[in-house]
Structure formats: C-alpha cells, structure tokens
Amino acid sequence: MKPPPRPVRYRRRDLLARAGLLTAAVPLVGAVDGFLITPHRLVTSVHRFGNAASTAAVHVRILQISDLHLRRMGGLEQRLLEQLHECQPDVLVFTGDTVDTPTALWQLELFLRECTRLPRMFAIVGNWEHRSGISLESLNRLYDQHGVELLINRSVELEKNGVPVRVTGLDDFVGGHPNAKAALRDATPTKHHLVLAHCPAARDALQLPGEHPASLVLSGHTHGGQVAPLGIAIVRPRGSGRYVAGWYEGDGPPLYVSRGIGTSLLPVRIGATPELVQIDWSLGSTLAAAVG
C-alpha cells in the first residue's frame, strides 16, 4: 500500500505573499469595475405606487431619467433610449443635471430626437445646469422644440382617462431658487400631485400651499452615492440631506431618489448602478375620481 499523502504545509512567507497578492488584487478589481463596467450598465427599476386594489383603477406609468450628465451618445445612452420605448410610458420626466456643459446641448438634441414618439415629457434643472453657463432660455428652447416642457417653479395639469394629475417642477434647491407658492399660484387643487425636485433635501423644505399637498416627490442628485461600496455612500453632494437612494416614506410625502444615469467629477460608479426608474401609479377608479 502507498503511504497516505503528506499534508501540504505552507511556510509563513508563502502565506504572507499570497495574502499580499490578494490584498493588491481587490482594489484593482474594484477599480476595473468602477471605471469600466458599472458606469456602463443600466438597470430599470420597476415600482408600484398608490392603491392598486381596485380593478377599475387608472394607472399612469412614469419614467424618470435623472442626472444624465450627457456627454456623448454611447452604448449606455442607446440602451436607455431602447428602454424608454419598450416601457411605453405615459409620462417621461427629466429630474435635472441632464447636461453640465454648453457643448453638451447638441448631444441633448440628438437624444431628444429619439424621444419624439413618447407622450408627455417634462424636465427640471439641477445644480449643474445652473453652474454650467448654459442659458436657461437656450435650454428651454431646445426642450420645447422636442416636445419637452421645462418646469422651473411652474405647474401643469395632465389627465389619464379623465383623472387629473398635477405636475409641479421646482427650481434647484442648491443652485437656484425654488418657489412652490409661485409655481402653484393659479393652479387648481387636484388629488394627485407629482412634484419634481432635483435635490432630495428639498423634500424637507417644500413649503407647498396647504391646498396642494404632494402625493409623490421624485428627485435625483445623489447618484446613489456614486462611490458606495456595499451600498454605503462615502460622499454625498450638498443638497442630498439625509437621502441616498430609493424610497423614503413617513414624516413627509413619499419620495423616490434615483441613482441617476451619468457621473460627475470622476467617471466612476461603485455600488451605484445607473438607473432608469419606472413607477406605475394607481390613481384609483374613474368613478371614484368623478365622485370625489
């Protein structure tokens, strides 16, 4: 019989060498993922909002694009456009930081050309539009040419199957001057009120008139931390407040904070995959709306 094999014994020096290689490999893998993989991925997160119990409920599908930071029409942007059309939204909203340099306006025009078959579209501005040197008049003109309504302290009403929905867009909390009272001065109160505010910290300072409470607030700005290993945001920009990403309810109107699409300062994302947000909002039945 052959003797049993001897157990492999590693010298301490060999173990330390292997540990050193592993320690060096972890940040390298993280860097490759953060710069080359995650920033170019796209996740469509689907959420149901409102009371969907009624079989006669009217549903509005909202798609939210936040923090696009559009610089070129690459693979990520093409996949985003494909998803926009596949999801068949009733409403598309751009919640700020769509562009951050004047030279990006022609890229935005290329992007918006592909959105012309979509229904109602609204946009607000973020801190980067304010600091970029882009003329808001030029931005408004470009949006208008492609059927997008720019809402800066302005409110509009739309309806789905006879059920009205008010959409209010506020100026940026950090770079602008949000004024909810001015936005809603001549508005008719409605049961369903969507508020677009780029910075999530605006939720804690909305100052909406009492007859116009918010049903839902959509924000971005945080990029989900942009660099958030294990979901822990290392740094959050001013205007984030206590918010990072996802849903926040209680002590205020329901808020969804998108992780956004693009990047700022550094082209890196760790633990914060780019996100297209789809919210299927149940408005209740047409009968209940008529009675109410």
- Nearest Cα neighbor of 258 from 271, 243, 236 is 243
Asked if the structure places residue 39 within a domain, the reply is no
Q: Which region among 9-13, 77-81, 226-230 has the lowest average model confidence (pLDDT)?
A: 9-13
Asked if the structure places residue 25 within a domain, the reply is no
DSSP 3-state assignment of 7? coil
- Give the pLDDT band (50/70/90) at residue 231: confident
Asked if the structure places residue 27 within a domain, the reply is no
Asked if the structure places residue 203 within a domain, the reply is yes
- Residue 276's Cβ-side half-sphere holds a number of Cα atoms within 13 Å equal to 22
Asked if the structure places residue 34 within a domain, the reply is no
In terms of DSSP bridges, do strands 246-248 and 255-257 run parallel, antiparallel, or are they unpaired?
Answer: antiparallel
Report how far residue 69's alpha carbon sits from residue 261's, in angstroms, rounded to the nearest whole number. Answer: 8
Whether the pLDDT of residue 90 is over 90: the answer is yes
Report how far residue 17's alpha carbon sits from residue 136's, in angstroms, rounded to the nearest whole number. Answer: 58
In terms of DSSP bridges, do strands 154-160 and 163-169 run parallel, antiparallel, or are they unpaired?
Answer: antiparallel
Domain that holds residue 273: 44-291
DSSP H or E run through 62? strand 57-65
Q: Output the CA–CA distances (angstroms, integers) from residue 167 to 4, 51, 184, 234, 287, in the order listed.
A: 77, 19, 10, 33, 22
Structural domain total, the chain = 1
Please check whether residue 47 is in contact with residue 277, taking contact to mean a CB–CB distance below 8 angstroms. yes
Q: What is the CATH number of the domain that holds 92?
A: 3.60.21.10
Please check whether residue 115 is in contact with residue 186, taking contact to mean a CB–CB distance below 8 angstroms. no
Q: Could you tell me how far CA 279 lies from the centroid of its own chain?
A: 11
Whether the pLDDT of residue 286 is over 70: the answer is no
Put residue 14 in one of left, alpha, beta given phi > 0 → left and psi -120 to 50 → alpha.
alpha
How does the average pLDDT of the chain come out, rounded? 88
Locate 95 and state its tokens: 């919640």
pLDDT digits (tens, 9 = 90+) for 25-42: 335 444 557 767 899 999
Locate 26 and state its tokens: 């972890």
State what percent of residues in the chain have pLDDT above 70.
84
Q: Could you tell me the pTM of the whole model?
A: 0.87
- How many C-beta atoms lie closer than 10 Å to residue 84's C-beta? 21
Instruction: Please tell me the predicted confidence (pLDDT) of residue 117.
Output: 84
Instruction: Please tell me the predicted confidence (pLDDT) of residue 104.
Output: 95
Asked if the structure places residue 28 within a domain, the reply is no
In terms of DSSP bridges, do strands 246-248 and 275-285 run parallel, antiparallel, or are they unpaired?
Answer: unpaired
- How many C-beta atoms lie closer than 10 Å to residue 54's C-beta? 15
pLDDT digits (tens, 9 = 90+) for 139-190: 999 999 999 999 999 999 999 999 999 999 999 999 999 999 999 999 999 9
Asked if the structure places residue 29 within a domain, the reply is no
φ and ψ at residue 182, rounded to 5 degrees? -65, -40
Whether the pLDDT of residue 196 is over 60: the answer is yes
Q: Hey, which residues does 64 pair with through a beta bridge? A: 93, 277
